[in-house]
Amino acid sequence: MGENNLFRKMNTELNAEDITMLSPLQLAYIGDAVYELFVRTYLLEKKLSVKELHKSTIKYVRAEAQANIVHILDDVLTEEEQIIVKKGRNAKTNTMPKNANMIDYKYATGFEALIGYLYLMGKDSRIEELFELVSNIEINK
């Protein structure tokens, strides 16, 4: 990601104050897409079949994996980032997870809110740094 990112040109109306006023669920909505794109791009380098790409992507993007990731990253998150995760985790949602327990789902929402926040704030290098740590985590199942 970087200055020439096509998606950066779409986010010209939101300033830092606007972004901090978004709900944690709005941040998670964006973060979910950004994180999945990172995962898919990362896995593409593995030269897997499309079926294997899909299976591998699910390992990273499912709620249980994201909950584990946010716990592992806890020590490297700034205070500001921890606050975003906590807001996302504590956000009231009317959605019941299909394939996850509620605790994992809430932590996953916190993780996605963080990724969405960092993305909208233009902190691509921080996302890359966190993703580098995530990509080195052994994801099982």
**What does the block give as tokens for 58?**
């699910």
C-alpha distances out from residue 130 to 21, 42, 68, 133, Å:
23, 13, 14, 5
* Cβ neighbours of residue 6 closer than 8 Å, sequence gap 6 or more: none
Q: What is the dihedral of CA 44, 126, 1, 106, to 10 degrees?
A: 60
Q: 27, 116 in Cβ contact below 8 A?
A: yes
Would you please indicate which residues are annotated as catalytic (active-site) residues?
A: 32
